[in-house]
Amino acid sequence: MNFDRRAVAAPTRELADWIANLRYDALPQRSREIARIAILDTVGAGVYGYCTPWAQMLLAWTRRGAAPGAGEARVWGEAQPTLRTADAALVNGTAAHAFELDDYHNAKLHPGTVVVPAAIAVAEKLNSTGAELVTAIAAGYEVMIRSSLALNPSATRLRGWHLTGVCGPFGAAAACASLLQLNTEQTAWALGLAGTQGAGVWAFNADGAMSKRLHAGKAAHSGVLAAELAQIGFTGPTQIYEYADGGVLKAFSDASDPAPLTRDLGAVYHLDKTSIKPYACCGSTHSYVDAALALRKKLGAPWDTRRRVRVGTAKVVDVQCGFDYAPGSALNAQMSLRYIVAVALLEGQALPAQFSDAKLADPAITALAQKIELVPDPELDKLYPKDFPGWVAAEHNGDWVRVDIMNPTGSIHAPIDARGVTEKFRGINPQLDADAIAAAALAIERHSVREFLGLLGKPESKRAAA
């Protein structure tokens, strides 16, 4: 790895200076819109995810020893703040990532589930304005995404790292530093403290473990901790990215390049290319869901399970999602390309209902999933992850019928707008007033963060059923 130090002499400090001086008026209109949508989409995923066992376990753990009435930030959907800021970010981040409903970026990470919970927790404590929250979220998304691009997402992923956990603390720290109005030096410390906490590996795929859900919440927690420590003078390494001995670029990847950290910083906002999930599964599989649904429509439903099915894969997708399917945890199915294609062909959807315990063990879905043939496709390798392409083919009357998708529904090539996100919120949280919550989120500059959170109420009907 040969860094061009003339081009990027001190990327950590350059990023820190940009974060410390970023103001709402400097943000493009589109970036503000993305930040507002991120609030609505992430909070919706978080309220839904609250009821999952892993979110409940994290909440129970944070409540141990907590002093009554000493809360700084709330669990989304509860009436009052009961947790410290970092713990609220931990719980809400884990809940938002709890069922694969949160947004994603082609840099192979989930920015919303880390940045939004961290920013909202600190903003609630500070009683920040909506404009301050939008600015912080924009800063966090940008830093988190640029951190992954600098690492080289595919190379880092193939080393076994989960980029949401590795890069997430940077994004959360940037957002919190913005809200806390840290100066450049303090912000550099915050980035350093965040980077030294970055972690998360893909070993959860071995058995569908809960640890993947934790990566997002822990990254949010780490970012809050980093910024709050920096505020009181706790120093962090101010060359966290670029330092030759232990800087994250060298430590996590053999193909890293510091240039994306600062290239066109302030002029190009990578956050504008964030994707919204219409399906409750890994973002790298969404093109396959689209392809399977189109193939089902073309060949007719109900699906004839006697047909042979082939699926083309890029190497990274095959490593990540191409394992043999056997009934197990929801995460196991949400990460299994074979299960996801099978359930889309048989049921015509890939929503939370398709990942219930009953569906995971359904004999027909399991049988089809286990028969699907994965085909390595070098042409897809050339495109991924700049694009998220995929294809599904089925045998029909002696011929093969194939559907190719370059980028999935929800990506910038086939975007889901604010109205679509509102309907997604309504669909997964029917007990809440989606219209009122969406109206506040999408005009957050006219509201305080505490006012917005108050609209979430306490969805007893959802939580009582969990």
Structure confidence by residue, pLDDT tens digits, 16-57: 999 999 999 999 999 999 999 999 999 999 999 999 999 999
Q: Do 11-273 and 283-405 come out as alike in CATH topology?
A: no
Q: Round to whole Å and give the CA distance between 205 and 207.
A: 5
- Per-residue pLDDT at 320: 96
Domain boundaries, the chain: 11-273, 283-405
Structure confidence by residue, pLDDT tens digits, 331-361: 999 999 999 999 999 999 999 999 999 999 9
Q: Round to whole Å and give the CA distance between 212 and 164.
A: 9
Structure confidence by residue, pLDDT tens digits, 421-445: 999 999 999 999 999 999 999 999 9
**Is the domain covering 283-405 a CATH 3.30.1330.120 domain?**
yes
pLDDT at 2 over 70: no
Helices (H), 83-180: 85-96, 112-126, 130-151, 153-158, 163-180
Structure confidence by residue, pLDDT tens digits, 101-150: 999 999 999 999 999 999 999 999 999 999 999 999 999 999 999 999 99
Q: How distant, in Å, are the alpha carbons of 3, 17, 18, 236, 454 from that of 13? A: 16, 6, 9, 12, 37
Percent of the chain with pLDDT over 90: 94
> Which structure tokens are listed for 375?
């085909």
- Per-residue pLDDT at 132: 98
- Per-residue pLDDT at 465: 35
CB 336 within 8 A of CB 325: yes
Q: What is the CATH number of domain 11-273?
A: 1.10.4100.10
Predicted confidence band at 457 (pLDDT cuts at 50, 70, 90)?
confident
